[in-house]
Structure 1
């Protein structure tokens, strides 16, 4: 027997404890185009915007765009764009059907269609969650990678771009030629100074298209900084079955998340924006202190847990945090990080660290260490290496952060502690594995060779003997003793 699908006609039949859109979705206009419509966007920005729509401002419907796969479009189109947000904690689960997404387009199928959506006069904001690698940049410098294959393609074929940067530039140029008001571009990815980084990358790309367009982007296009925080594991078939049992209808792609959610946004939107501050977002003049605290404490710890936890044989973050030695290490890592931060006014950093550890222990979230471990070459600079540089400059010990970097190095060799292959998902995966093999199996040489990847480590860390000694020593312990024994030895220091 085939279970009916979630869609507009089925909303009235849902159980009474399931929240659903009470606003007129047919009256929604498209005020936002979102690039990179994955699970995080649907659990975070779309949920905030759904609350704005529910409050009566129907100008802010979302057109989502996938830059790679049709999977999200194929899942949501038969559901009229509806999907279930399942908020899970140790106390239980609550479900809400989100209605903010009007349409999903698949960019590779019809690039011109996405440019057309971006050029609709009602569009005031373009948001992005394309992950760090989606910016076609050098993570070590934060500048456009002009040799990136997508950049090379888009500069030669701006009428059918592939990258988020190419689509933005094409739409900005088209809107300008049509006399339309520029949109604001809001990065919601984990990049340092993400708005400023995006603006620098976009302006350089536009300059390569034409000097005139580069000046226009530099002087006219607003790219506010933002900081986003919510843990969103990948949805499993088990999750789909559990949601179907609750709803009484099938949802092809529900999204799982935690109760906690935070969004800090620089309030710079010349063309207007949703009233996100009325539904829980924080609008500020300077995002930087919030961003640094989140990137270094949450994301840095998450990456450390991912690599050490994976090597230790733990499939999920909550399993890893049940290891007392790993949990003790994470707490100490956070303390080492804290001294490098400028704490936002009124923030209780000790309470924040405690809350992070509790969130990591949430047994209802099956957040896989392998998922967090993806794209580490793009993540390390802002999550761990900035803290290491600050501690080195202060003459402080870097051993705990060096262990996290060494765990990443051990992971990207592509072979785990039992000799089994690791499915390393990273844009530099093949290069990193080859570099590690070329080092001949000696941990100190592997560390030195991988530290020479300037796109990740810059040019400075390879020249710092303290960094090489700390990382090389940590990597030697991981090879000799394994992750669990290494963490256990730290507990007795």
Structure 2
């Protein structure tokens, strides 16, 4: 079977012969599965609709990356969408021909800097992991390239400044809060350390637009298990194909000027792409964290004790599905700031994503670092419900109780514990005491605060633990379903 390259794609009628002649409009730091299943897929849809007419230049941000593998296929690859849409199974594939160039700055530093010289290129996107937007203290102005992403980007921007050219729309996709301002601050720090002066910093402020973003699409990545079968169906060998779910959301936040620039330079809505421009990402981040990740964390505690292994199994069980749905509708949506109808529509979409028959999402995987996940995804909802007069959220409190049951060693080998050893040890020490619940909930080193100060929480958790000891978890699930 032939390896995917342009000649193969043209022969099969899968690519536009004009694709390679499109100008580079986006510089992308990161060549991993997520960006190729998200940004490049979006650009492909815009090009298909004739509303963009541009390609992406992909920059390898780390020394060991995938640029060479992309080049081996002349930057072509396949995105396979699998999931549910409007309740119906979706399984489709599309050749992506929207990467116009790849650059490895570790091998071609001048070629990397030259990306800044093209006036058609006006957007920069990145996904360099959550740790990527941080200044590397070892980076020097003479490094070619420096190790850190902010320093690499700073050099690119300095080249643009030295050419007296306009700046960029800069759209970081790293999964950290306020990623736009965080990247801006990192660039200022780099510029000051490198001694590039006030004129450059003023240009950085004046000519560049930094926005914060939230990206949402499950991208499982390369389908190792069924690659050979897929190659047979595609008619070519593709070492870079990417699986993704149909659902996609890109939230971009900035002031009104920034929002207009996003709509002008990246007219995603004209291609039917769900790109939302707004003043602040936080309400949408909360919506995702609490309505998608929150129920996941509940499942990892409650459902695992009931013997479930995957998200799909949970949603296929009538009682567990009702339990999770009521958690979303009664304990999460009422304490969010976005309009109720919008939250309910998102919750419907989340349940459809949970139902995805093509993805076996392991509850053990979701249960990794359960304590920190509970703190970020569910604990704020306990506080919000109490503060807004809704009382203790019973299903979330049961999830907390099950977490204490598991980490206290009561679940035996039935549920796997994978967490920071200090956290695990703290639970083990407390579990040997008569006042286990009081002791563990009061431990601010674990939770960041004393949870016994939340009215009624200690008593509710203790009752749940007593019931778990007497009857097991199923009667508790049945009562709250």
TM-score by length of 1: 0.75
| 1:280 and 2:278 matched | no
Seen in structure 2, the aligned counterparts of structure 1 residues 84 and 219 have a Cα distance that, compared at 3 Å, is same
| SS of residue paired to 2:279 | coil
Query: What residue in structure 2 maps to residue 452 of structure 1?
Result: 445
Structure 2 Cα separation of the partners of residues 232 and 264 of structure 1 = 17
Indicate yes or no: 2:430 matched with 1:442. yes
Tell me what 2:243 maps to: 256
Q: Deviations over 1:137-156 (max 9, x none)?
A: xxxxxxxxxxxxx6323378
C-alpha distance in 2 between matches for 1:221 and 1:234? 32
For 2:429 and 2:172, how far apart are their aligned partners in 1?
A: 40
Question: Cα deviations across residues 171-202 of structure 1 (Å, max 9, x unaligned)?
Answer: 33343233232212112344444434544555
* Partner SS, residue 233 of structure 1: coil
Distance 1:177 1:128 in 2: 23
Structure 1 residue 418 displacement after superposition: 1.6
SS in structure 2 opposite 1:244?
Answer: helix
Structure 2: tracts of 5 or more residues without a match: 254-258, 432-436
- Pick from 112, 116, 119 the counterpart of residue 116 of structure 2: 119
1:59–1:342 distance in 2 versus 1, CA, 3 Å: same
Answering whether residue 60 of structure 2 is matched by residue 63 of structure 1, we say no
> Which deviates the most, 196-205 or 80-89?
196-205
Aligned to 2:452: 465
1-structure distance, mates of 2:319, 2:468: 15
Query: 2:95 matched to 1:102?
Result: no
User: What is the Cα deviation at residue 124 of structure 1?
Assistant: 1.3
* Alignment partner, residue 340 of structure 1: 335
Correspondent of 1:82 among 67, 76, 87: 76
Partner of 1:147: none
How far off is 1:50 after superposition?
A: 1.0
The answer to whether 1:296 aligns with 2:290 is yes
Give the secondary-structure state (helix, strand or coil) at the position aligned to 2:93: strand
Would the aligned equivalents of 1:208 and 1:214 in 2 still touch at CA under 8 Å? no
Residues 76, 479 of structure 1: CA spacing in aligned structure 2 closer, same or farther, 3 A cutoff?
Answer: farther
Q: Aligned residues, how many? A: 457
Structure-2 residue corresponding to 1:188 = 173
1:356: how far off? 1.4
Cα 1:216–1:481 change in 2 (3 A) is farther
From the superposition, tell whether residues 76 and 340 of structure 1 become closer, same or farther in structure 2 (CA, over 3 Å): same
Note the C-alpha offset of 1:42.
1.9
C-alpha distance 73-351 of structure 1, shift in aligned 2 (>3 A): same
CA distance in 2, matches of 1:411, 1:160: 47
Question: Following TM superposition, by how much is the alpha carbon of 1:125 offset from its aligned partner in structure 2, in angstroms?
Answer: 1.1
Alignment of 1:217-256 (within 5 A): 217-218=204-205, 220-256=207-243
Contact 1:309 1:320 (8 Å CA) reproduced: yes
Question: In the alignment, what sits opposite 2:151?
Answer: 166
CA–CA separation in structure 1 for the residues paired with 2:409 and 2:3: 40
Deviations 1:343-395 (A, max 9, x none): 25x95432331231122011122344466566879876764454445335435
Q: Are residues 56 and 36 of structure 1, via their aligned partners in 2, closer, same or farther at CA, if it must alter by over 3 Å? A: same
Larger Cα Rg: Structure 1 or Structure 2?
Answer: 2
Aligned counterpart, 2:160: 175
1:146 matched to which residue of 2?
none
1:11 pairs with one of 5, 9, 12? 9
Deviation larger for 114-123 or 127-136: 114-123
Q: TM-score, normalised by structure 2?
A: 0.77
CA–CA distance in 2 between the matches of 1:390 and 1:302?
A: 19
Offset at 1:256?
A: 1.6
The 10-residue stretch of structure 1 (331-340 or 270-279) with the greater mean CA deviation from structure 2: 270-279
Question: Where does residue 364 of structure 1 map in the other structure?
Answer: 358
Q: What 5-or-longer segments of structure 1 have no aligned partner?
A: 137-149
